[in-house]
Chains A and B, each alone.
Chain A
Amino acid sequence: MSEEKRIYERDVITATISRLMIPFIQLFALYVIIHGASGPGGGFQGGVIFASSFVLYLVVFGLAAAGKRFPEGANTALMSTGVYLYAGVGLLCILISLGVAEYLNYGFIPLTHMFEENRALGMDLVEIGIGITVMAVITEIFFNLVWKKEEEEKEKEEPR
């Protein structure tokens, strides 16, 4: 808390503007993910844009505040959730269509009655999964590049 306050006093403009910008960046990222199927964009781009809002937060408010907002465990869990969603849709299709059809096809997810609509929904699910993973991975990479962790220091002290 005190850290945040201090930065506020020092950099009023950046802090205020980024507080205003971050929700809009995230909204744009969600737009890019959802509209990926019918226009430019998609899960990867949306995920990167979403992560860039976290990067902005870190740059403006400092490591301590950012580390409190995005704990590493939650980030790891998000990374895996995205991959589960991504691969889970595919595995579900294979399992459901095992006796019926030939190849991996998102149309077999039992979401609606229309085959084509199922396929579009399956693709959207996959895009969302990719988006979540990419967001978590890019944030994690950036945090790790900036942050010198205690674990590494512990390792450094030990003689090899």
Chain B
Amino acid sequence: MLSPVEQFPVLIIAISLLSAFTILVAGLVNKKSCCFISIATILLQFVMSIVILDHVLTVGTIHYWLGGWKPPWGIEYLVDALNAYVLVIVLFIALICAIYSKRSIEHELPHKLVSFYTVFQLLITGMCGVTVTGDIFNMYVFLEIMCIAGYALIASSKIGLKAGFTYLVMGSIGACFVLLGIGFLYSVTGSLNMHDLSLLLPPLYGNRVVQAAFVFFFTGLGIKMAFFPLHTWQPDAYAYAPSAVSVIIAAAMSKVSIYAFIRVLFSVYTVEFIQIYAPLTTVISWLAAIAIIFGSVYALAQYNLKRMFAYSSVAHVGYIMLAVGICTSTTLGLTPAVMHLLNHAVMKGCLFLIAGAFIYKKAELWDIMKFPGLGRKMPYTGIAFIFTALAMCDIPPSAGFVTILYLILAFLEAGQFIFAAVILFSVIVTFCYFFHVVEMMYLRVGVEEEIEKERGEIPMSMLIPVLVLAALSWIVGVIWLMKIPFPILDAVNSMFGLGVVP
């Protein structure tokens, strides 16, 4: 006998799918209603995800066997602390983005409201599916649903077409690699359930097929999450997508891909595999370190605001992967990585919301050189930008600071001082590029009469999400410092057998 809460993982996906097609029908009658259906659905899903998180932390892991088939044979939906946490992040960002998109999409894609919200809802279905499933092939299918929706959304604006196609080609190659990896694992174990695989694999760690499968997973998911040498699709896609789409793909979709990689690394291949093949963590750490330096330096060179944030995202994917790479040699385990999933989602989500707000105000405001006087034209958005930029520059007690604090603690404990130096370098460069933007907005004087004429904020439905996320980028930091969500981190670390130095 299951409690009703344990039915929620499957209901979250079913409701989202139903809503996507309800939007399609409602769009025939009334185009304006699409947005409200989407917001209502995501709100319901968000409440359900919070209930799931509470249930997981108080009662225990949720196992849902579809059709009543037991795990090695049937598909299992498995929600533990990490799943539930990522689910809450994804749905929160989706909620913010849906509220924001009402005016933004009406402005940018007025002829495509119905199809936009349908595909948006399918994207959320895919993201929820990847997070809740415990079956590796099911994860591939949901990953593809998510990415196909992502390709369509990025290419929905004219300037995003080329970026969307490039992403489609690279993403499909990544998906094919993941599919090959799954095939390799299936050929040696005969199982697709992640927990079952983690039990069957340890005797086979020396097998070439298993190792090749890992390389396929690493490459495929590396493309999906824009990890350093495979990030080439990412800056264009983030920069030229419609504003609301930039928010959801930068803040939520990349997190889901990283989650998928963490899940494969620690739930399918366990910590033992990483310890046997220790160079693996070295490779991940060094690639991540290069990603951080590369992303930060390239962000410094950009004049397109959204491109700058996109390169900054490359650096922050590097932060998370660096934390993953270091996790076996410290007592902190995955703590900084799991923390930064939330912190980066909130901060980068807010930054892309603000970039979208500037473009909403005036179409040419993607160029930093046209910013002078902007701070006085849009006072609230400007202040929100300053606060988020300070959080990105890791001023205590912001969200960015907490990540840096724990990352550096981890490096000091592991004795990897060079990575601490990399992080500090990145912080300085981050400060430089954000200072450049703030200087352009406030310290350079624009043409005065024009300012008086154009003063005016973005609409409330866009401003409130911006202010909420800007406030959260500091509140989250305080919450982490007060150690309120630490039960999640402890559960994740103990689940993967981390946090103990061998």
Contact = CB atoms under 8 A, between A and B. Distances in A.
B65 A103 contact: yes
A103 B24 contact: no
B22 A80 contact: yes
B107 to A, nearest CB: 11
B11 interface: yes
Given A80-B21, A90-B14, A94-B11, A103 B28 contact: no
A98 interface: yes
Nearest to A93: B67
A80 B65 contact: no
Interface stretch (A19-27, A37-45, A71-79): A71-79
A103 B21 contact: no
B18 A104 contact: no
Interface in B354-368: 363
A98 B4 contact: yes
Interface in A80-104: 80, 83-84, 87, 90-91, 94, 98, 101-104
Interface in A128-160: 151-152, 154-155, 160
Given A87-B17, A90-B14, A154-B111, A79 B24 contact: yes
A91 B2 CA distance: 16
Nearest to A90: B14
Contact of A77 (B4, B25, B66, B67): B25
A91 B24 contact: no
Contacts of B159: 160
Given A105-B67, A105-B68, A151-B111, A84 B21 contact: yes
Instruction: Report which residue of B64, B67, B159 has the largest number of chain A beta carbons within 10 angstroms of its beta carbon.
Output: B67
Contacts of B66: 103-104
A80 B18 CA distance: 8
A77 B28 contact: yes
A83 B21 contact: yes
Given A73-B28, A79-B24, A160-B158, A103 B18 contact: no
A90 B7 CA distance: 12
A95 to B, nearest CB: 10
Interface string A42-82: 00000000000000000000000000000001001101100
A101 B64 CA distance: 13
B68 A102 contact: yes
Given A102-B68, A103-B65, A104-B66, A76 B25 contact: yes
A76 B25 CA distance: 7
Contacts of B18: 83-84, 87, 91
B10 A94 contact: yes
Interface footprint category on B: 20 to 34
B338 to A, nearest CB: 30
A160 B363 contact: yes
Nearest to A102: B2
B482 interface: no
A104 to B, nearest CB: 6
Contacts of A79: 21, 24
B484 interface: no
A102 B2 CA distance: 5
Contacts of B22: 80
Nearest to A119: B67
Contacts of B28: 73, 76-77
A84 B158 CA distance: 33
A118 to B, nearest CB: 13
Contacts of B10: 90, 94, 104
B14 to A, nearest CB: 5
Contacts of B158: 160
A154 B110 CA distance: 11
Given A103-B67, A151-B111, A94 B25 contact: no
Contacts of A90: 10, 14
A42 B355 CA distance: 47
Contacts of B111: 151-152, 154-155
Given A76-B28, A80-B25, A103 B2 contact: yes
A77 B26 CA distance: 10
Contacts of A106: 67
Interface in B4-44: 4, 7, 10-11, 14, 17-18, 20-22, 24-25, 27-28
Nearest to B14: A87
A133 B28 CA distance: 17
B423 to A, nearest CB: 40
Interface of B: 1-2, 4, 7, 10-11, 14, 17-18, 20-22, 24-25, 27-28, 64-68, 111, 158-159, 363
Task: List the 8 shortest-distance A-B pairs measured between CB atoms, nearest first.
Answer: A80-B21, A83-B21, A103-B68, A80-B25, A155-B111, A105-B68, A87-B18, A87-B14
